Amino acid sequence: MSLWFWLLLACVLAYAWKLVGYFVPARLLEDPRTSRVAGTMTIGLLASLTVVNAVASGQALAADARLGALAAAAVALALRAPFLVVVIAGAGAAALLRFLGWN
């Protein structure tokens, strides 16, 4: 199946989630567990995506310049840098480490 298919399906489902809130009676979603799961899943998915992008290389684990990017981003965030600065710090660290010979 082409990437376009899954991409457009993701768009349709994203809009469906958004609409659900406006049309489903509030009491159906009042169960605190629903919003808890939505929130914990957000944290879990973002943590997982961070790690996958830092150490996964296909089905293998790798320690490369991306770990430097992770560290640089953490420092930038701890210093309360804005989003774009954090991203640039990550890119800069990875590029610099590669330039120095650590892949």
Nearest-approach distance from CB 72 to another protein, in angstroms: 7
Q: How many CB atoms lie within 10 A of CB 33?
A: 7
Written as six digits, the tokens of 83 are 């989003």
Exactly one of 14, 63, 79, 102 binds another protein (CB under 8 A); which one? Answer: 14
DSSP-derived letter for residue 53 is H
Region 44-103 residues binding another protein, contact defined as CB under 8 A: 44-56, 58-61, 65-66, 68-70, 72-74, 76-77, 82-84, 86-96, 98
Nearer to another protein by C-beta: 5 or 101? 5
Please tell me the distance from the alpha carbon of residue 90 to that of residue 66, in angstroms, as a whole number: 8
